[in-house]
Structure 1
Amino acid sequence: MVIELPIAWGDMDAFQHVNNIMYFKYFESARISYFDRLDFNGHMIKTGVGPILANTQCKFKIPLTYPDQVSVGAKVDVLEKDRFLMKYLVVSHKHKKVAASGEGMLVSFDYHKNKKAPIPDELRARIADLEKNVNPDFQQI
């Protein structure tokens, strides 16, 4: 899944490049867009089972500056019983290069019982379908 985001003037810091925290916001925007495609929120409302971010990291490649636009890709790379690894890419339109890559481990969590839960089969199927039908775009950004 790939989304497009503008670089805002306010995203930059005193060093005249996009502040590092913004990359995590770009990842979050791509992740939420991915979850919207899965209707993860609808499933969570019905069952109480949804994702929780366990950890995340970013590798910065080139600095971003205003004005620019980025393509941000998200894909599920590893799917386990109760967690999945999501990978991200941030690509600068101005530089036509990868500006950052990252990943996040998300755990399936039962918010009613306040504990980990297996990823529901219905969501596993939706993830597999999205990866098969949409995420070839991820390789092209």
Structure 2
Amino acid sequence: MDKLKDYPVVISVPVQWGDQDSFRHVNNVMYIRWFESARIAYAERIGVWSLYDEEKIGLILASITCNYRRPVNYPDIVRVGSRISRIGRSSVTMEHKVLNGDGDVVADGDSVVVVYDYNHGRPYPLRQSMRAAISELEGKSF
């Protein structure tokens, strides 16, 4: 059973030797970086970058949590899934899950991402076009 089947964006990331700390397991910071990489892949899929290029409306991270379930060691290839669980007026809550090469859950967590107007330095309402892109990608309405 694929534990990431309900995650519309899944990326694969090879574990690098330098990702480990002195205890020879992947350092906790890397898990957050994996979440970030999947979050950015999700943003690309819903067209965030064109909105930023045109109007300087983008995303900014408000909070993030990570539950470390088991260590990861080199060599391995992790798979990271991201999905949106909630849409607010100007923010979305994303869920993330990381699996090791054996398919075990090694971490999970969530993040709150705010749609942000970089011209005026404040949150910006989520556009209907972005809501529609999220609903299409997720295969459900919010």
TM-score between the two structures when normalised by the length of structure 2: 0.90
Residue 108 (structure 1) shift? 1.1
Deviation at 1:96, TM superposition (A): 2.2
Aligned equivalent of 1:14 = 22
The one of 106, 113, 116 equivalent to 2:123 is: 116
Determine which structure has the larger helix proportion and give its number: 1
User: Is structure 2 residue 105 aligned with structure 1 residue 83?
Assistant: no
Q: Which runs of 4+ in 1 moved over 3 A?
A: none
2:40 and 2:116 map into 1 onto residues whose CA distance is 16
1:32 counterpart residue number: 40
Tell me the number of residue pairs that the alignment of Structure 1 and Structure 2 aligns: 132
Equivalent-residue separation in structure 1 for 2:66 and 2:52 (angstroms): 27
Q: In the alignment, does 2:11 pair up with 1:3?
A: yes
How far is the alpha carbon of 1:39 from its aligned partner?
Answer: 1.5
Gaps of 5+ in 2: 1-8
Unaligned runs of 5+ in 1: 134-141
Deviation readout 1:58-87 (Å, 9 max, x if unpaired): 000000000111110000110011111011
What residue in structure 1 maps to residue 103 of structure 2?
A: 96
Structure 1 counterpart SS, 2:71: coil
SS of aligned partner of 2:35? helix
Q: 2:78 aligns with which of 38, 58, 70?
A: 70
RMSD, aligned CA: 1.1
Aligned pair partner of 1:54 in 38, 44, 62: 62
Q: Give 1:40 deviation, angstroms.
A: 0.4
Q: Do residues 127 (structure 1) and 134 (structure 2) align?
A: yes
The CA deviation string for residues 65-114 of structure 1, in whole angstroms up to 9 with x for no partner, is 00111110000110011111011000001x32100001110111111111
Distance 1:5 1:103 in 2: 19
* 1:47 CA displacement: 2.2
1:137 alignment counterpart = none
Structure 1 distance, partners of 2:60, 2:118, is 9
Seq. identity, %: 36
Give the TM-score, by structure 1 length: 0.90
